[in-house]
Amino acid sequence: MYRKILAAVNEFTNSELAARYALTLSQSCDAKLFLIFVAEEGIEKNTFKRAESALERLFIDAESRGIEVKSITEKGEPYKNIYDIVRKEHIDLVFTATRREDVTKRFFIKTIARELILKMPCSVAMVRIVRMGRIHPTNILVPLRGMMKDIEERAFFVGKLASGFNSKVTIFHCPEPLTDFFHGRIYLNPAVREKHIPGDIETFTEYLNKYVIINEKRTSYGTISKAITIEAAHKRNDLIIMGASERSLLKSIISGNPVEEVLKETPCDLIILKSKK
Amino acid sequence: MKIHNLSKEEVLKNLFTSENGLSEHDALSRLSEYGTNEIKETKKKPLYLKFLSQFTHFLALLLWFASALCFLSEYLHPGEGMLTLGIAIIVVIFINAIFSFIQEYKAEKALEALKKLLPFYVKVFREQREKEIYATDVVPGDIILLSEGDKVPADARLIESNDLKVNNASLTGESEPMLRSHEPFDGEFIRSPNIVFAGTSVTSGSGRAVVFATGMSTEFGRIAHLTSAVSSGLTPLQKEIIRTTRILATIAAAVGIFFFILGFLIGRDFWHNFIFAIGITVALIPEGLLPTMTLSLAMSSQRMAKRKALIKTLSSVETLGAVTVICTDKTGTLTQNKMTAVKIYFNKELVDVKDIKNGVADNLLKNAYLCNNSRFMEGQYKGDPTEIALLKLAKEKIGDLQAKRLKEFPFDPDRKRMTTVNFLEGKIKAFTKGATEGLLPLCNTFYFNGNKIPINESLKKSIIDACHIMMDKGLRVLAFAYKEIEETGDNALELKDIENNMTFAGLIGLEDPPRPEVADAIKKCKEAGIKIIMITGDSSRTAVAISREIGLIKGDPIIIEGYEFNRMSDKELIEKIRAEEIIFTRMTPKHKLRVVTLLKEEGEIVAVTGDGVNDAPALKKADIGLAMGISGTDVAKEASDIVLLDDNFATIVNAVEEGRTVFENIKKFITYIFASNIPEAVPYLAYILLKIPLPLTIIQILAVDLGTDMLPALALGAEKPSPYVMKQPPRRMKERLLDLPLILRSYLFLGPIEAAACMFGFFWVLYNGGWTWGIMLSPNNILYLQATTACLTAIIITQIGNVFACRSAKMSVFQIGFFSNRLIFAGIAVEILLQIFIVYHPIGNKVFATSPLDFKVWLTLIPFSIALLIADELRKFYVRKFN
C-alpha cells in the first residue's frame, strides 16, 4: 500500500522523533523513505545546522536498517516544496510533526501541519510527540468508531507500524451513550456495549489478525476525547493512532472536535492519519 | 527498548543532549515543542457555564415560557397582576438554579494539591555550567542536579548517583526511601532504580539526571490526567432529581395545555383560560422542592461531620446511603496500624515474644535491627510502622548495636525483600528480610543453636508451617537471613552475589490489631446488604485471618493476588468480582482504579477508601471517594467526596446510615410538599368547571410552596434514622424518589383532604358574607379577598396535621415519639407566624392579595387538620397490619 513514504524534518527534536515512526513504517512495509528538510528564506545558520544533523542521523539510521532512503535539502517554502516532491515522486504517505505551540491554536490555523493535512494529494500522518523517553511503543491504542471510510488503509498503517515495533494493539470503541427524556443518559455495561460494537471494528480486527498483531478490544463510555485520554493514561499506552476528524468546521465549533481535543490533552505520543480516500 | 534499558551514552544520544547540558537556545526551542513543565487541568466546563446550564434545563425552560407569557399578558391586559407573577416566576427560576448549583458544586482542588508537590526552583546544567531556573522551564534533555532535600521537577533518567535515595511515596505509596542507581535496568519501567519521578523527593545522597518527560507527560502528570479527567458521573440523587423534575414539569405542562383546550372547547374566553393554564402549571410544580432538598442535605452533612465524616459534595450525602460495595484498605482503616512483634520462630521453635529471654535470639534480632531503616531519635521512633516494631523489639532484647552500613538494596515489591550490607564486629555481613516464600529459596543453611545446619525438605516444611501458623493468626510475617561476605570492596558487591547461599535466621510475626469497633460495623454492613471488599498489600493468609477475625468473611472467599490481577482480563475479573466474599491481596494503590471501574460497570454503587496521591484517580472514579483524614495526603483529600476524620471504617458505616436516612427523609418531605399541590390545583379546576371566582391566586400558591411549607419540610429532613434503616438491603437503583405509593398517598389521600378543607374555607367565608352561587366578584372585593385568604389558611392549617402524618410512611407518629423531632414544632411556629403576617399585616395583604380573617375561621378549619392526621394514622394501622 505504501511504496514511498516521506518524512518532513526540521530543526525541532519532535520532527526527528516523528520521522523515526516513518523509518519504522518504511522498514516494516519495505517502502522507500524520503527525508526532506526545506529551509525557509533567512534561516539562521545554527538552525540550518541542527536540521541538517537531524537529517544525517536519520539517514544513517535508515541505511543501517536496510531501508532505501533519499535525503533532500531544499530552500523554499516548506509546504510548497513538499507538495511538489509528493507530486513528482508519487509519494503515498507524508509524516509531519506538530508542536505544543501548534496545538494551542484552534484548528491549527496558520500551521504547516494544517496545510499538509488538508491539502496534500496523498495520505498524511500528523505526529505529536509528547514524551522523548518512550522510544519503542509497546502498546498502541487505536480508537475506532463505526462507518470508517478508510478501514483498509488504517488497518494497514496500524498493522505495519505495530509489526515494526513488535507492539500490541488495543482497539478502543467509545459509543455515544443512549439518552432518554426522563432518565437522561443511560450507560450500558461492557457486556452490552460489546454486543453493539460496529461491524467495521470486526473487519479491522480481522486485518490485524492477518498481519499477526496481538490485539484486544476495549469499550468505554463518556465524552469521546476524555474516554480516549483516560484509557491511554490508565493503561499506560505509548502511542495513540487515530483517524483524522471528519467533522466540518461548523460542527467542530458547535459541538467540539474529539480529534483536536485528544491532540491537546494526549498523555502519550499521537499519530493522526488522514487517508487519501 | 525504553529509556531505563539504555546505557548513559545511549540515553544522552536519544534525548539529543550531552553531559554539558542543553544550550539556552535549545532549551527555549524545546519549551515551544513540549510546553512548560506544569501540571495542568484538562479542559473542563467553566463554572459560569455550569451555573448557566441551571437556567436551560427542561423545567427552567418551561418556567421561562410561563413568565414570558405573563409579561405578554401584562402588555395586553395591564393591571391584572401578571407582571408580579412574571417576576415571581423568574425569582423561582433563580432560586432553583442557585440551589441546584450549590448541590452540584464541588471545589476541584486536587490538582492544586498535586502542583504543590513540584518544586519552584531547580538546579540544572546548561551551557556547561550550573544554573538555577524555574521548575516550569525545565525541558526534556535538561541535566538536573539532585541533592538531599530537593524535590524532583520532572521524570528523569539518572546518569550519575552517589548514595542517592528518593522517597516515592507520592507516586507509589511506599514510604520507605529507595536507593537509586544510574545503571541500566531490565525490569519494569515504574520500578526502575535509574529513574527519578516528578513530585518525589531526595532524602539523601546526590545525583545527576537527564529529563525525558515534563509536565503532563510525566508519571505525576498521568495521575493528574486521571484525577482531573476521570468523572464519577451524576450521583444517584442528581439523576433522580432530573427524572422527578422532568416528570413533574411534563405533567404540569400537559395538564395546563389540556385544560386550556378544554376551557376553549366549553366556551370560556381566552383570558380566563390563560390564567387557568398558568395557575395549574405553577400549582403542580413544587417550586420549593430543590431549595428544601439542598438545605436538608446541608443539614445532614452537618450531622455527618459530628460523626467524623466530612462531606465535600452535598449530593454525596445521599449517595452514601445507596452504596452497595465498599472497597476498603486494611491497614489503618480496619486495623489500628499499631504494629507489634508478637511471635518469633527460631531454633525450630515458635514462641511468644514475651517468653524470649535476653540473649536467646540475638542472631535473628541483629538481623531485624540492621536490616531496618527506622530510627530512634529524640526519644521517638521514626519510620515505617512495621520496621519500627522490629527495631523496638530488637532494642528491647539486645540493646543498641554499632555497625557501619556499607550498602543497601532497598525493598522492592517485585523481589519482596530488602538487603543491607554492614560492617559488624570486624566482619562484613549482609542481612536480608522479606517474604518467606521469596527468601527461603535463597538459603541453604539454617541457624540452629549457634551452628549452621543444612536446610532439608523437612526443615523447609517446618519453617513454612510456622509461617502459616502465624499468618493464620492474622500476623504479618517477615523472614530473615544473613550471610558473611569476604571483603572485596563494597562497590563490587552485587545483589546476585549476596542473595544466595544465605543462612536462614528465623521469622518474626507482627500483629496489627483490628479496631475494636470494626467487627460491629461490618456486621451492620452485612445486615444492610452492603458488600465489603478488602484491598490490601498484605499476604493472602494474613488478610484472610484478619478478615475472619472481624467477621468480614465466613466461608471460602475468592482471593486475588496482585500478580494474578495483572494477568486477568476484565471479563475474568468481573466473573470473580461477583462472588459474595472476595479479597484482593498483595495489591498496590494503582490497582484500585481498575477494581472500582469494573464494579461500577457492573452497576454497583461503589465507595472506596484511599490515602495516597496515587489513590486519587480511584477516589474520583468511585461514586463515593473516602479519604483518610489523619493519614491521607492533601491530594487524596481533595479528590475525595468525604473525608473520614478518624480514618475509621466504623465511621463509614455511620455515614451510610445517615445517607440512607436522608433518602427516607427526602421521600417524607416530598410527600408533604406534594400533598399541598392538590389543594393548590383543585381551586383552579373548580374555577374553570364550576364558574366560580378563583379561590386561590398564583401568588398565594407561591407563598405556600416557597414560604410556609419550607421549614416544616426541612424539619422532616432532620428526622432521626428509623430502627430498620440498616436492616434492609441498599436501595435498588430502580427504586424511585417519586414512586407510585408516594404519589397515591400525596395526590389521592392526603391532598384531597386538604383540598376539601380549602374549598370549605373559601365557600364558608363567601356564604357567610352573603355571596350566592353565580355571582362573580371583582379581584378587589373584600369578601373575595377574605375568601381566598381562608382558602390559603386552610392549606396552612391542614399542612400542620400533614407534617406529623409525613414523619413516617408506616409507623404511627406516637410510636416514633410525638415530640422526638423538636424542629417540627419550630417549623410549625414559623409557618403560623408567616401566615399571620400574610393575613394580618398590610404588607402581607398587599403582596399576597389577602384580607384579615376573623379568628373563628381559623377555629373552623382546625378539625380538618386533626381529621387528616387521624385518617393517616388509620391508614398506617392497616398498612402495618397487612404487611
Bridge partner list, B179: B165
Those residues whose C-beta lies under 8 Å from the C-beta of residue B817, and which sit 6 or more positions away, are none
Give which of B651, B676, B616, B637 is closest to B798, Cα–Cα.
Answer: B676
Question: Measured between alpha carbons, how far is B196 from B142 in angstroms, rounded to an integer?
Answer: 14
pLDDT of residue A252: 58
Q: pLDDT higher for B177 or B569?
A: B569
Q: How, if at all, do strands A215-219 and A239-243 pair?
A: unpaired
Are both A163 and A91 inside the same structural domain? Answer: no
Mean pLDDT of B61-83: 79
Whether residues B246 and A218 touch (CB distance < 8 A) is answered with no
- In Å, what is the CA distance from B160 to each residue of B13, B180, B193, B207? 16, 10, 12, 5
Encode B254-289: b = buried (16+ Cβ within 10 Å), e = exposed.
Answer: ebbeebbeebeeeebeeeebbbbbbbbbbbbbbbbb
Are both A144 and A226 inside the same structural domain? Answer: yes
Pick the CATH number of B310-336+515-647 from 3.40.50.1000, 3.40.640.10, 3.30.1050.10, 3.10.310.30: 3.40.50.1000
Question: Measured between alpha carbons, how far is B89 from B278 in angstroms, rounded to an integer?
Answer: 11
Cell numbers standing for residue A31: 517502502
**SS3 assignment, position B631:** coil
**SS3 assignment, position B480:** strand
- B3 contact A CB<8A: yes
Question: What ipTM did this prediction achieve?
Answer: 0.86
Question: Measured between alpha carbons, how far is B26 from B141 in angstroms, rounded to an integer?
Answer: 9
Superfamily covering domain B286-306+661-882: Calcium-transporting ATPase, transmembrane domain (1.20.1110.10)
Give which of B33, B36, B28 is closest to B115, Cα–Cα.
Answer: B36
For residue B567, list chain A residues with Cβ-Cβ distance below 8 A. none
Residue B112 pLDDT grade (very low, low, confident, very high; cuts 50, 70, 90): confident
Question: Does residue A254 sit within a domain?
Answer: yes
In a 10 Å sphere around its CB, with 0-12 CB exposed, 13-18 middle and 19+ buried, how is residue A133 labelled?
Answer: buried
φ/ψ region of B649 (left if φ > 0, alpha if ψ in -120 to 50, else beta) reads: alpha
List of E strands, B73-200: 121-126, 129-134, 143-147, 155-167, 177-179, 195-196
Q: What is the pLDDT of residues B576-623, one digit of tens each?
A: 988 889 999 888 777 888 999 899 888 899 999 988 787 888 998 899
For residue B601, list chain A residues with Cβ-Cβ distance below 8 A. 189-190
- Domain tally, chain A: 2
Question: Measured between alpha carbons, how far is B124 from B131 in angstroms, rounded to an integer?
Answer: 5
Angle between helices B58-76 and B82-104 (to 10 degrees): 160
- Indicate which of A131, A187, A189, A221 best probes the interface with B, i.e. most B CBs within 10 Å of its own CB: A131
Answer whether B537's CB lies under 8 Å from B739's CB. Answer: no
Cell numbers standing for residue A128: 505529536
Are both A110 and A192 inside the same structural domain? Answer: no
Sign of the alpha-carbon torsion through B366, B369, B370, B372: positive
Answer whether B649's CB lies under 8 Å from B206's CB. Answer: no
Answer whether B416's CB lies under 8 Å from B434's CB. Answer: yes
Encode B413-444: b = buried (16+ Cβ within 10 Å), e = exposed.
Answer: eebbbbbbbbebeeebbbbbbbbbeebbebbe
Report the amino acid identity of residue B14. N
Residue B143 pLDDT grade (very low, low, confident, very high; cuts 50, 70, 90): very high
Are both A90 and A158 inside the same structural domain? Answer: no
Question: Does residue A132 sit within a domain?
Answer: no
Are both A87 and A166 inside the same structural domain? Answer: no
Are both A234 and A112 inside the same structural domain? Answer: no
Mean pLDDT of B125-152: 90
Q: Is B414 a catalytic residue?
A: no
Bridge partner list, B123: B132
Whether residues B226 and A230 touch (CB distance < 8 A) is answered with yes
pLDDT at residue A222 is higher than 90: no
Please name the residue of chain B whose CA is at the shortest distance from the CA of residue A193.
B601
DSSP H or E run through B579: none
Question: Measured between alpha carbons, how far is A4 from A35 in angstroms, rounded to an integer?
Answer: 11
Are both A120 and A86 inside the same structural domain? Answer: yes
* Mean pLDDT score of chain B: 86
pLDDT of residue B836: 95
For residue B141, list chain A residues with Cβ-Cβ distance below 8 A. 13, 132
pLDDT of residue A230: 86
Superfamily covering domain B340-511: Calcium-transporting ATPase, cytoplasmic domain N (3.40.1110.10)
Q: What is the pLDDT of residues B374-386, one digit of tens each?
A: 888 878 888 778 8
- B229 contact A CB<8A: yes
Whether residues B33 and A189 touch (CB distance < 8 A) is answered with no
Are both A146 and A255 inside the same structural domain? Answer: yes
Q: What is the CATH number of the domain that holds A204?
A: 3.40.50.620
Number of C-beta neighbours around residue B817 at 10 A: 10
Report pTM.
0.75
- Tell me which of A46-55, A136-145, B720-729 is least confident: B720-729
pLDDT at residue A35 is higher than 90: yes
Domain that holds residue A219: 139-274
Are both A147 and A218 inside the same structural domain? Answer: yes
- B2 contact A CB<8A: yes
Q: Which residue has the cell 513504517?
A: A25
Question: Measured between alpha carbons, how far is A107 from A245 in angstroms, rounded to an integer?
Answer: 11
Percent composition of chain A: helix, strand, coil (DSSP 3-state, to 5): 45, 25, 30
Q: What is the pLDDT of residues B749-773, one digit of tens each?
A: 999 999 999 999 999 999 999 988 8
Angle between helices B710-717 and B649-675 (to 10 degrees): 150
Q: What is the pLDDT of residues B650-671, one digit of tens each?
A: 888 888 998 889 888 889 989 9
Question: Does residue A241 sit within a domain?
Answer: yes
Of A74, A106, A127, the residue at which a domain comes to its end is A127
Of A100, A127, A154, the residue at which a domain comes to its end is A127
pLDDT of residue B97: 86
Question: Does residue A57 sit within a domain?
Answer: yes
One DSSP character per residue, B200-249 reads -EEEEEEEEEEEEE-GGGSHHHHHHHHHHH----S-HHHHHHHHHHHHHH
Whether residues B242 and A184 touch (CB distance < 8 A) is answered with yes
Question: Does residue A234 sit within a domain?
Answer: yes
Cell numbers standing for residue B702: 407561591
Domain range summary for chain B, segments of one domain joined by +: 3-41+112-229, 286-306+661-882, 310-336+515-647, 340-511
Which one from B142, B329, B705, B872 is the annotated catalytic residue?
A: B329
Are both A106 and A203 inside the same structural domain? Answer: no
Are both A52 and A95 inside the same structural domain? Answer: yes
pLDDT of residue B108: 65
Q: In CATH, what number does B3-41+112-229 get?
A: 2.70.150.10
Of A58, A92, A127, the residue at which a domain comes to its end is A127
Question: Measured between alpha carbons, how far is A218 from B228 in angstroms, rounded to an integer?
Answer: 22
Question: Measured between alpha carbons, how far is B817 from B650 in angstroms, rounded to an integer?
Answer: 28
- Indicate which of A15, A132, A165, A265 best probes the interface with B, i.e. most B CBs within 10 Å of its own CB: A132
Compute chain B's Rg from CA coordinates: 36
Select from B3, B243, B569 the Cβ nearest to the Cβ of A182.
Answer: B243
Residue B214 pLDDT grade (very low, low, confident, very high; cuts 50, 70, 90): very high
pLDDT of residue A105: 57
**SS3 assignment, position A98:** strand
- Tell me which of A170-179, A252-261, B256-265, B431-440 is least confident: A252-261
For residue B212, list chain A residues with Cβ-Cβ distance below 8 A. 131-133
Are both A144 and A247 inside the same structural domain? Answer: yes
